[in-house]
Amino acid sequence: MNKQKKPSESKPAAARTIRQEDPHPKSFKTGEFAFGKENYRLMLIGLAFIVVGFLFMIGGGSDDPAKFNPDIFSFRRITLAPILILAGFVTEIFAIMKKPMD
């Protein structure tokens, strides 16, 4: 008649209690947007940089395929447009990562 206790029964009552997690964290507020007004403004600025950069890249072709147009290698297309596009993407990332003001 050797009765052994189960491992869960040998622990004191305080150790068996499970801490209840709050289903609604204090920082979570329902009915609010994830981004603030400034975030959306920065996103639009970043999108404008990207669009302007791509607009700077278009054009420069020649109507006659036998003629070479050196305008395709201009400063605007080779240097300025990629810098604007990169700046737009960096602005977009910053706008997404920035915490909205409460």
Check residue 44 and give left, alpha or beta (phi > 0: left; psi -120 to 50: alpha). alpha
Q: Is the pLDDT of residue 25 over 70?
A: no
Write the pLDDT tens digit of every residue in 33-83.
788 899 999 999 999 999 999 999 997 777 788 888 788 888 999 999 999
State the pLDDT at residue 30. Answer: 67
Which residues are CB-contacts of 20 (< 8 A; sequence separation ≥ 6)?
none
Cβ-Cβ contacts under 8 Å for 71 (sequence gap 6 or more)? 60
Ramachandran category for residue 17: left, alpha or beta (phi over 0 → left; psi -120 to 50 → alpha): beta
Quick one: pLDDT band at residue 20, thresholds 50, 70, 90? Answer: low
pTM here?
Answer: 0.64
Count of domains observed in the chain: 1
88 domain residue, yes or no: yes
Instruction: Kindly state whether residue 27 falls inside one of the protein's structural domains.
Output: no
